A and B are shown apart, each in its own frame.
Chain A
Amino acid sequence: MGRTLLDLLRYNRQFAAGAVLLLVVIGFACLSFFSPYAPNDAYVTAPDLPPDWTYPMGTTSRGQDLFWLLSFAIRNTLLFGLAVALFSRLLALLIGLVAGYSGGLVDRALMSLNDTFIVIPLFPILVLFYFVMRDRMSWGLLALMMACLGWAYDARLIRSVAMSLRHREFTETAIFSGMSTRQILVEEHLPYVLPIVFSTTMNNINWSIGLEVTLSVLGFTDINTPTIGVLIYWANQHTALVSGIWWWIFFPVLLVVMTFIGLFLLAVSMNEYIDPRSRLGRRAP
């Protein structure tokens, strides 16, 4: 797989572009470890200063250096997106593989559950969640909540692949070779399913970040931890655009757009990796 990724990097321009964008964003997020300020410090600099050499991204109305603040924000946002994606992939894989392989009643039951989760309206539920949790709201809890709401589409995708794999003859050969169900699912079927999981992970990260930004901008999350959405929320609270403090909105949005495009390009260019035959072609003698 490593070789394939390297090949993709060398020959597929979309993949290379997406990788570069993401690396820039991740690099910037890593800078947060060298920040001279703690994330929630306020009024440590002169407020409302436009970008210049001392403050590359300017300062906010609350007297914070936007450069370092943004590095925290994008780090938290990325971690959040990653956490949601990881949790929801695990759920989707588990439910999709088991439903697809077992068939019958187990499949019917799991898919009824799945369809219920697909039709649940996410946004109202998350808002309700905020109102119920209020002060006890934490990012971990929100991530868990979103993961529990975000696995349904992909579970169906994985299930249909698992179903078709179940009926292929090599599954029968594996059964008659004495392999256990767990071994078959993990060793025979997973390689077919993983590329799809990768691709949907990118989409999932985009989705969860988008939702987080939406919720935060409206104030329905913990507004004391800096994330991109929270940053924009505070900017709105201080009527940044009206006051002409454009950099407070511009840089967070720029960074999140870069993240989205990078992830999207990666997801789209992975298509070549998804088709198992393209990987086989490379192994030819």
Chain B
Amino acid sequence: MTGPVLAVAGLRAYYRTSAFGVRREVRAVDDVSLSVEPNEIYGLAGESSSGKTTLIKTIANAFQPPLQVLAGSVVFDFAGKRFDIHSLAARELAAIRWKHLSYIMQGSMNVLNPVRRVRQSFIDFAFRHIGGPLPEFLDLARKHLQRLHLEPQILDAYPHQLSGGMRQRVTIALATVCQPQFIIADEPTTALDVVVQKGVLAMIHEVQRALGSSILFVTHDMAVHANLSDRLGIMYAGRLVEEGRTADLFRNPRHPYTAHLIASLPQLGDSAPKQGLAGAPPNLADPPEGCRFHPRCPRASDICRREVPFLQGASGHRVACFHATAESVA
């Protein structure tokens, strides 16, 4: 019985800047602990300045000063071997990257080299992991594309000859060609049109089921989470405030922020007015004491202003709130 593919424990990552004698500390990720099981899609939801982008940068060990990891650990488990990603040397990191851990970025043009043909990107990213003679590798790439319902001729095209949706599919094919155990997807469909988005999400879903990989899928779009993620984590102001199976969260959101998020989702066919949430996400350089949501929370009380609620709960549905709704009886 294997453990989680990714185990994040007590992660704390701040941006520390010192310019012209002014020190600033932006507490982007504060005491976050989560784990991702094999063969599941873990969705990470949150709005701007929730810290989710910083969290994945830290998990992937793809960050530079002024971002610093102050505490906590990020441990991957690939086929029995454990890797603490922050203690790996550059060479070991390069050996893991793409073979066991790969990424799907928001902009496909951030990945595909615009002045080389698509197959060159495949060679750049994956050849050293798969090895063997080059023609065999390209053959493998072609078969991989075909399995994902893409035409093998795409390898010979330049990125600008493909449409935006097509490029994003190629990025997904690129990220999965080495059959990694873990994929980090950062808002892969946000910039795409609604029609194209559905196709790309379908592709991600199919690839995940076929390979059995785990995906950490980050997006602010709750409708995408509802339809794609198996489990869901909600981030607010640098902290994880609720986590559980997607169905549980949508049916019975226990944290007031989650409850508001889900209630305010506009739905086609529903003309009832939605409520807005007063206030704004806090400035992470100077966050409120205690629970960071209390200035906007309808259930806030004295203890919320003084103490930080911790993530707790049974049966996989955890919530960090002193006034969390009771768990629904199964």
Interface residues of A (CB under 8 A from B): 7, 10-11, 278, 281-282, 284-285
Contacts and interface: CB of A to CB of B under 8 A. Distances in A.
Contact of A11 (B21, B24, B285): B21
A281 B21 contact: no
A133 B24 CA distance: 61
A5 to B, nearest CB: 11
7 contacts: A7-B20, A10-B21, A11-B20, A278-B19, A281-B17, A281-B19, A284-B24
Interface residues of B, number: 9
Given A7-B21, A10-B20, A11-B19, 12 more contacts: A7-B20, A10-B21, A11-B20, A11-B21, A278-B19, A281-B17, A281-B19, A282-B19, A282-B20, A282-B22, A284-B285, A285-B286
A159 to B, nearest CB: 27
Interface string B281-323: 0010110000000000000000000000000000000000000
Contacts of A285: 283, 286
Contacts of B17: 281
Interface of B: 17, 19-22, 24, 283, 285-286
B284 to A, nearest CB: 12
Nearest to B21: A11
Contacts of B283: 285
B27 to A, nearest CB: 15
A10 B19 CA distance: 11
- Secondary structure dominating the interface of A: helix
Contacts of B20: 7, 10-11, 282
A284 to B, nearest CB: 7
Closest 4 CB pairs of A and B: A7-B20, A11-B20, A282-B20, A281-B19
B17, B20, B22, B285: most-surrounded residue (chain A CB, <10 A): B20
Nearest to A12: B20
Nearest to A3: B20
A282 B21 CA distance: 10
A7 to B, nearest CB: 4
B37 to A, nearest CB: 41
A281 B24 CA distance: 10
Contacts of B24: 284
Contacts of B286: 285
A173 to B, nearest CB: 21
A96 B19 CA distance: 33
B227 to A, nearest CB: 34
Contacts of B22: 282
Nearest to B20: A7
Contacts of A10: 20-21
A282 B20 CA distance: 8
B16 to A, nearest CB: 14
A11 B20 CA distance: 6
A21 to B, nearest CB: 22
A278 B19 CA distance: 9
Contacts of B285: 284
Contacts of A11: 19-21
Contacts of A278: 19
Nearest to A4: B20
A8 B20 CA distance: 8
A281 B286 CA distance: 15
A249 B20 CA distance: 41
A98 B99 CA distance: 55
Contacts of B21: 7, 10-11
A95 B286 CA distance: 45
A109 B24 CA distance: 49
A58 B21 CA distance: 46
A55 B285 CA distance: 61
Contacts of A281: 17, 19
A7 B19 CA distance: 10
Nearest to A278: B19
Nearest to B19: A281
A217 B286 CA distance: 62
A11 B23 CA distance: 13
A248 B181 CA distance: 77
